[in-house]
Amino acid sequence: MEILKTIISTLSFLQKAKAAHKSVGFVPTMGALHQGHLALVKRAKSENDIVIVSIFVNPIQFNNKEDLLKYPRTLEKDAAMLVSMGCDAIFAPDEKEMYPKPDNTVYDFGQLANVMEGKFRPGHFNGVAVVVKRLFDIVQPDKAYFGEKDYQQLQIIKSLVTQKNILVTIIPCPIVRETDGLAMSSRNMQLTAEERKEAPFIYQILQQAKAKANQLSPEELKNWVLQQIASNALLTAEYFEIVDTTTLLPITFWKESVHSIGCIAVFLGKVRLIDNIGLK
């Protein structure tokens, strides 16, 4: 496996692969890899000749500078995990390599970017779109793999690909969970021992919400979930929204949407966790 730090070396690596008519699968990450990331790599490996993983903590998608500074950076450990998965290359640029000058591109994702994460993290999705577009331009993959835990991000990236006519197939992959139900996330390692014990409560409530979806209206279900989270002294809900899976527009009546999803963001201590569950 090669660790590539520059765009030129990455282009050279990919040129050889494409000259040999090899398909390229791509998994963009910010590092601090866990089994959720590795599931994406495994899927990519099964569907492509070559798999490249990017590891880059993208500063322009953080609206909280403290969050950016605290984000774990574990390249050596990540590389060892990727070798064991049969990954072919890591693209691990620094900030100057990715942004030799500021990229001030502004995207318009409409309502997709205005709700939930977009509402509470202004500018976040524009930063995601800028870096993903740059990565796609460099890697030019046949397929790119994204986890469904970041469900809104997934819809934004699909919109980006459509808007910019990028020739890549986006492959959504199911959420990977710990044995106690907590959605795997690089942020989980920031939890204290007490917080980690309490964290599965989030998914337990989502599962109960799914079971109650036939008995309650979307508004009643939303209020019930927020009440349950509020009952736990360690948890503070930032939002819980029930939205259409495609438009991400909130729904008032179940019949408004063929498929709906419940998306949640919760603070557990100082750590912000997100999760979601299909409801109907």
CA dist., res. 104 & res. 130, Å (int): 9
Active site residue 37: yes
Residue 24, classified by CB atoms within 10 Å of its CB into exposed (0-12), middle (13-18) or buried (19+), is buried
Q: Is residue 144 within a helix (H) or strand (E), and if so which, with residue range? A: strand 143-147
pLDDT along the chain (280 residues), means of 10: 97 95 97 96 98 96 85 93 97 97 95 94 95 98 98 98 98 98 94 97 98 97 98 97 96 96 97 96
Given the residues 34, 37, 124, 259, the one annotated as active site: 37
The pLDDT, as a whole number, for residue 70 is: 83
Which domains are assigned to the chain?
A: 2-173 (3.40.50.620), 186-278 (3.30.1300.10)
The residues with which 117 forms a beta bridge, in sequence order, are: none
The pLDDT, as a whole number, for residue 81 is: 97
Tokens 């599931």 belong to 39
How many CB atoms neighbour CB 40 within 10 A?
25
SS3 state at 231 = coil
The pLDDT, as a whole number, for residue 71 is: 86
32: left (phi over 0), alpha (psi -120 to 50) or beta: left
The first and second tokens of residue 40, run together, are 């994406």
SS3 state at 110 = helix
The pLDDT, as a whole number, for residue 67 is: 83
* 248, 152 Cβ separation under 8 angstroms: yes
The first and second tokens of residue 44, run together, are 């990519």
